[in-house]
Chains A and B, each alone.
Chain A
């Protein structure tokens, strides 16, 4: 990164933080701070909802996934538009008309205080830990790629969002998100343009796409019905429907946004933005990954994209084994590149026979490249003891910092920071809301002035920002703990959806029935996760269905 690039990043951060702080004057009361006075326009809320889901992990992780495995991950989002319609018809009017601050507050009105407190507590635990991961994942990548200390990159990513959220509340989060979305989409389009420009002159875009297709990178649909396979058409349209209904319908980080609109229809309209644009946007992110694959097909690439591990392997006790793998990798990538060029020439000449022969050779060499890379990653895992090691998060940042012309690295790093900040701001604001509304105002001090609650809310936002930053800095050491908490969070997603289905759809359901159902649903998911190979998306279905069945059964039994 040159000084020009750093200047772009610095100017962007100052502009964003200043813009957020300026909104402080509009947050004189609690409703303004947490819900924007219930008067934010639907289009701004809709863009903010999209920005919150699009974290830096999406920018670096999903593009890396596109590079390594192609576009099949897109199936994960197929149910999202359907979930938006389901929620608009069901939960959105209930929340909006109830004039609540949190989704869990509604559960006390329908059931009792313990169901509200338990679900809100589960949200606080899982969301605060996942916020740590949202900060740490890009912080670790930036630390390696830019050669900065991890604490510095955690502060670079976390501090601006914490500052503008403390001062400006949900208004700042929403309006900053609108700017962030513009930069993120602009950055992704700029990346595609630069990647296409980086292809050899004789390779046209359709030819390049045919080569990506031959390597299986454009395989999107998998119609096999296999409950153990994470990404299929069926898990993406049926199981993910439960996940998205739970995420957008019961997770405070999402619900809080559409509660900030002025009417039920505005809330619905805000969700329709995601319904229309989420799949195309995610396709664009994965397409960046596919073009990264094409770029590194013609440009020599490192075998491992994490330079720290690459150096450690080259100089460590496994150096000889690594060197041997590297020789195989260089030979395979050179042959793969040559075959791709022959494919292009044969296609241009209309020579089907040569094209098919080159295609077969290309696929063999691509398979060999994957095998060698997998062996190198396995070697790193054995050497470091990190069984989950992967370097896909480093592919896009490597391209940005080493292959883009001056100015563009600054733009793209700012876009990745924007994605991180938009997720952090939204999640921080929701953590603060749940803390103050579901616990402080409910159990500690029920009657106080707005100024008092506003002060406590700002302290809560600062506390969660500090907590998530500490988790982020210690994420490597806390690895197994974070995994446990995230697993715990996944037990809870389908189950909490089940509680809301009981609340809204079954007047006969009682408070005790819902509570026992929630515990049973989490237990069922814990069993499915530990005793079966069923893919995690289906856990949401298991959790929701168990809660509804057990909840109704207990409700009826206890009524008698």
Chain B
């Protein structure tokens, strides 16, 4: 996989951190954080789509 695309997909890390922080640490997501998480997820999936098929 292209190294830039791999690095962009790995930006899901802070998204997972904020998702895990809710059940483990009781920290809630703010509306801007929810929007940011959705944008990162969408851009990662967009780059992760196999366009050869």
A, B co-complexed: no
A residues contacting B by CB (< 8 A) are none
B residues contacting A by CB (< 8 A) are none
